Structure 1
Amino acid sequence: MTTDSEPSLPRDLPLRLKKADSHGGEAGKPIVTAVEDIGESVDEAGERNRQVLNEASSDVNENEHQGEGQQTAEVELVLPEPKKKKRSKKPKSKRGKNKPTGFEEYYVDPPITLQEHQEEKEIYDVSRPLLHRIELAILRFQKKRRIETERREVFLKYLAYGGVDVSPRMFGGVDNRDLQEMDKDEILVATGQASIDRDRIDLPIDFDAVVRGYLTSFFPYFFNPDTEDMVKLATVTIRNFLTYLLYHDVCPEYKENIDQARTSCDIAGKELWKNQQFTAKGPGDFNTACSALFGGYFYDMYAVEDEWENPKDEATRMNSAVARKVVKFAIAGAGSDEQAGQFQALANADSLRATHVKDIDGFEVISLNVPDADTLAFYGVHASDLQPVGRVHARAYRDPGKPRIDLSPEEKREWEEQSSGVQNLQEFDFFLEEDLLRLCYPGMKVITSIWELNCGLFFFDEVFTAYSSIYTVLANDLMLGWKKPRDLVAESEEAEAEAENESAEREGAEPVNTDYM
């Protein structure tokens, strides 16, 4: 018998459980399912099985009334569907990687609240010392930006170049109880990695000079960027920091100077990568051919026709015939009639000679002349396998970052009287291929050796480096890693006084007073 609350089957009734097929049929084999594989709750599965038992109970009652002998009830066991697996969380190392860093091209700082504005007016008030304001702005900037490892290295070097101490604080740990008594700005100062020594409060402050010195002098030498993205990383990071100073009105008395520094970042971002490319691709076919034929770094380095090729040497060397062809067509296509005539006469007499121009470090670009239509047509008809050349008008240049020439007072006075330190070869023209002309710009400084042919032509040799039009040399990089020297004399005097005190104490005499020493 069954009750109204829960159906039941006779105890002597054998049950044959069958699993319902997923396609509506019956499965022929029993299935054993682990507990953890069952996704539905026990209550839901139990409710389904109660319904099945009710149907089976009604079938049994009908069979009892019909008087059958041994009765068997077939019950379909409904198994719960497997529960969907939850998506695993990202590891800690990958969390937040898609969040904005604050250095994107169109990123702007969000608007600040009235409370934040009042707070910044107090901490950046002009009455406060400038070094305190800049130090706090640096710490806040680092907190507001997500600075990756490579960008952080460039930024910290920039701060150190500008006189900020970014070294880890030794024995500067702060107890948690002390942190609880501080406000957020005091916590930043206590736990930050940027501080400005109060001894430098009298030094002149020039944001533009520091930017020009760091980006044009220190950064190319120290980091040697080999991609345009590396150049942009440095210029964008520093410009972003300067914009932060303007946006939060950290030092309004230096607003114009900071604007000039931002302009210098824009100029350096365009010119630095051109300098790197010019250094790698220079000096060009014409100058290489002249150096190989008449003297210089590439002299006698041209390939012989029957020379074995070295698969490990990727450098392409022109042979003597190609070098002569490059020089002749450049003079004929882009040179003047007078230059072509003198070159031909000296070449026929086998008296072409090259002289090294001394006492200069390179040249500074004044103007550029790309190949005109006649030159392009001439090359297209007679030398389609060569690159057309244009002209670079330049002046002699001495690198202010190198030591001065050691001269006597009379020689120095005579040197200064002659063209402000540059000899009579103050200006000259170079032939240069189109692909290299695109990398040049007025004001560009190229450090190289210059040679003069006795027919009036100039060529330059191996390119050592190229500097920007805003190239600036500061002594700041000499102070990187500098430590204040110890006063060894005072320490030795104190040690001697302490030794005398110890001996006096042992002998019972009065100790020596070192306060007045």
Structure 2
Amino acid sequence: MSMKKKVISMTKPALLPGKVVDQFKRAPSNAVFSRIQTCIQRYRARRKLDAVRSNIFTKYLILGGIEATGKQFTGGALDEETLEQATAEEIAALQATDYIRSGNTNSKYYDPAKPDGWVVDFEGVAKGFLVPHQLGPETETEIKQCTAVIRNFLNYILQHAVCPEYTLEVMAARRVCDLAEKELWALQLLTPKLPGDFNVAASTICGGHYQGLSLTAEPWQKDDPEIEQFLSINGMDEAQAKSIFRTGIAFAGTDELFTEAMKGEFYIIASNRKYFEIVDIERPSVKLIREYSRAKGHHGELGNIKPLGAIRIKSWEGPGLDEEDASDDENPKTEEARIESFWLEDDILQLLFVGLKLELLVHELNIGIKFFDTVLGTYCSFFTYLENEKMLSWKEPVENTRPPPTEDDPDIEERAMEAIMEGEVNDDEKITSN
């Protein structure tokens, strides 16, 4: 089993009055991981977090390499001898639920090549934690609650000068909290609007995902102000799609492109799943918005075709959430750093931000334009995948005491695993792969 390096989340505060600093110098060791452990235990004891905030904080600690799933002391009340001989700090440490397993006994994260065996990265853990797949927030209030918990903890570190050598990193982590609060909510608002009317129209008439998904409003739905948006993201009829597609090309494309589009002979010639990062956002001008307002829809109505702007994007290596399938001898191909453009409606562009990362299914048409009809993922500008995620469900390997398969009994392993799955074997007898 190769040793993994552990990332702990904390940073560099300016020194505060000596009395405050001294309380952490009196920790069992002045090593940074010891000070961080003491800080976490005191923070948890003094803040009295409710169930929701406690759960957020625990997940954050676990991702940062802290053991936060069980007590070191589980024997009930401390005996009188322990109470008499131990200090209040020592008793609190014994009863704490959060601790750092240090030294080479911590094969889950310990890295002997690093000082104290740890990598301290407050900013990195904040970036890896404050993302949708970790938090799953659905409302702006929930997002603010998540960022507030982490920000409050980081402020506690700075206030008590827990590790002054990491002040700059802690403050960088606080900035991530501020950024996450804005970007996570923008992603929540953005998701139901994508891929936008123009892309849905192109998909509908060119054989993409939305072809044949047209829905019509029921009589009782016609007065619903949100019905048009609902119908558009679930497909549109071909006449509406052609109107939106051709109008978009007329305003945003060249004369040659519009001529080709009017022939009606367009189809997908290539499709690729790609990762992108937004580098520029071009919203339509006020003049262009007025011109769109005078464009007629497929029923002759005015103002129903949304004005288009553009995003400029470059290739991104991806979030790293998938398992690697390349051998050690293979080198991943790096795409050229070229800028591509996609047209999007202005109401979508208002929610986008430079640095936003996207995973898209991109189609190229025979007339030379590209569109996307499937958004496979959206990611914050600061998105960072931590190697710690791979270790969250890792367990210490133990020796397999069961006899191996033999010629006389080749199925012994299969029977043992079946017994484990059916709960017929004690934990001590279970097989654990080395």
TM-score of the two chains, using structure 2 as the length reference: 0.75
Matched, 1:332 2:250: yes
Seen in structure 2, the aligned counterparts of structure 1 residues 224 and 310 have a Cα distance that, compared at 3 Å, is farther
Amino acid at match of 2:290: A
Partner of 2:6 in structure 1?
Answer: none
- CA shift digits 1:168-211 (9 cap, x unpaired): 22744342522354322112211111011013341312111111
SS of the residue aligned with 1:446?
strand
Match of 2:178 in 1: 266
Q: Which of 25, 35, 41 is residue 122 of structure 1 equivalent to?
A: 25
Matched-pair contact (CA < 8 Å) for 2:21–2:161: no
Within the candidate set 473, 487, 490, 2:399 is matched to 487
Distance 1:172 1:355, change over 3 A: farther
Structure 2 counterpart of 1:401: 321
* Residue 166 (structure 1) aligned with residue 68 (structure 2): yes
List per-residue Cα deviations over 1:92-131 (Å, max 9, x = no partner): xxxxxxxxxxxxxxxxxxxx998x5375253369x71211
The 8 Å contact of residues 361 and 398 in structure 1, kept in 2 or not, is answered as no
Measured after TM superposition, the shift of residue 332 of structure 1 is 1.4
- Distance verdict in 2 for CA 1:449–1:423, change over 3 Å: farther
Secondary structure of 1:488's match? coil
SS of residue in 1 equivalent to 2:154: helix
1:501 corresponding residue in structure 2: none
Q: Distance in 1 between matches of 2:266 and 2:184?
A: 37
In structure 1, which of residues 137, 143, 149 is the aligned counterpart of residue 51 of structure 2? 149
What's 2:268 paired with? 354
> What code does the residue aligned with 1:166 have?
A
Give the SS at the match of 2:368.
Answer: coil
Letter in 1 for 2:175: T
Structural mapping, 1:447-486, within 5 Å: 447-486=359-398
**Aligned partners of 1:180 and 1:295: how far apart in 2?**
78
Structure 1 equivalent of residue 417 of structure 2: none
Q: Distance in 2 between matches of 1:119 and 1:203?
A: 23
Match of 1:207 among 122, 129, 147: 122
- Cα deviations across residues 202-255 of structure 1 (Å, max 9, x unaligned)? 131211111111113xxx114321111111111121111111111111111111
The equivalences for 1:49-128 within 5 A come to: 117=20, 119-120=22-23, 122-123=25-26, 128=30
Mapped partners of 1:296, 1:180: distance in 2: 74
The separation in 1 between residues aligned to 2:48 and 2:274, in whole angstroms, is 42
Q: Give the 3 Å change call, closer, same or farther, for CA 180–289 of structure 1 in structure 2.
A: farther
Output the TM-score relative to the length of structure 1. 0.64
Aligned partners of 1:434, 1:179: CA distance in 2, in Å?
Answer: 67
Cα distance change on mapping 1:343 and 1:271 into 2, 3 Å: same
C-alpha root-mean-square deviation of aligned residues, in Å? 2.9
Q: Distance in 2 between matches of 1:382 and 1:300?
A: 26
Superimposed CA distance per residue, residues 300-353 of structure 1 (whole angstroms, 9 cap, x where no aligned partner) = 2124x7x97898xx8414211111111111111222334323323xxx1x4201
Match of 1:193 among 97, 112, 117: 97
C-alpha separation in 2, matches of 1:473 and 1:379: 42
Q: Distance in 2 between matches of 1:138 and 1:132?
A: 10
> 1:275·1:465 contact (CA, 8 Å) conserved in 2?
no
Shift of 1:486: 1.0
CA distance 1:158–1:440, shift in 2 (3 Å): same
Shift of 1:433: 1.1
Three-state SS of the structure 2 residue aligned to 1:137 is helix
With over 3 angstroms needed to count, the CA separation of the structure-2 counterparts of 1:395 and 1:355, relative to structure 1, is: farther
Cα drift, residue 435 of structure 1: 1.6
Q: Which aligned runs of 4 or more in structure 1 are off by greater than 6 angstroms? A: 307-311
CA contact (8 A) 1:447 1:464 kept: yes
- Structure 1's 269 and 378: CA in aligned 2 closer, same or farther, altered over 3 A? same
Count of aligned pairs: 359
Pick aligned residue for 2:276 from 334, 356, 363: 363
Query: Comparing 230-239 with 197-206, which one deviates more in the overlay?
Result: 197-206
SS of equivalent to 2:362: strand
Is the contact between residue 334 and residue 375 of structure 1 (CA under 8 Å) also seen in structure 2? no
Deviation at 1:268, TM superposition (A): 1.5
- Structure 1 residues 382 and 308: alpha-carbon distance in aligned structure 2, compared to 1, 3 A threshold: closer
Give 1:371 shift.
Answer: 0.9
Distance 1:245 1:188 in 2: 19
**Structure 2 unaligned spans of 5+:** 1-15, 111-115, 222-226, 297-302, 404-434
Aligned-pair distance for 1:471?
A: 1.1
| Cα 1:463/1:118, change in 2 over 3 Å | closer
1:407 CA displacement: 8.2
AA aligned opposite 1:235: T
Identity of aligned residues (%): 29
- The letter for the 1-side match of 2:237 is N
2:304 maps to 385
Q: For 1:113 and 1:258, locate their aligned partners in 2 and report how far apart those are by CA, in whole Å.
A: 19
1:408 to 1:333, Cα distance in 2 relative to 1, 3 A: farther
1:450 Cα shift? Answer: 0.8
Matched residue, 2:289: 376
**Residues 338/443 of structure 1: CA separation in 2 closer, same or farther (3 Å cut):** farther
Higher RCO structure, 1 or 2 (CA under 8 Å, sep 6+):
2
Question: Would the aligned equivalents of 2:360 and 2:374 in 1 still touch at CA under 8 Å?
Answer: yes
Unaligned runs of 5+ in 1: 1-111, 493-517
| Mapped contact 1:278–1:466 kept (Cα < 8 A) | no
User: 1:487: Cα distance to partner?
Assistant: 2.3
CA distance in structure 2 between the partners assigned to 1:449 and 1:309 by the alignment: 34
The 2-side partners of 1:386 and 1:272 are apart by 28
Deviation at 1:390, TM superposition (A): 0.9
Q: Please give the alpha-carbon distance, in whole angstroms, between the structure 1 residues aligned to 2:92 and 2:242.
A: 67
Of the three residues 237, 242, 245, the one matched with 1:319 is: 237
Change (3 A) 1:464 1:380: same
Summarize the Cα distance change of 1:222–1:194 in structure 2 as closer, same or farther, 3 Å threshold: same
Letter in 1 for 2:311: V
Please report how far the alpha carbon of residue 387 of structure 1 lies from its aligned counterpart in structure 2 after TM superposition: 1.7
Q: 1:174 to 1:157 in 2, by over 3 A?
A: same
SS in 2 for 1:430: strand
Q: What is the identity, as a one-letter code, of the residue corresponding to 1:123?
A: R
CA contact (8 A) 2:53 2:149 kept: yes
Say which of 221, 224, 244 aligns to 2:136: 224
1:439-454 alignment to 2 at 5 Å? 439-454=351-366
- CA distance in structure 1 between the aligned counterparts of 2:21 and 2:358, rounded to whole angstroms: 51
**Contact 2:24/2:38 (8 A) holds in 1:** no
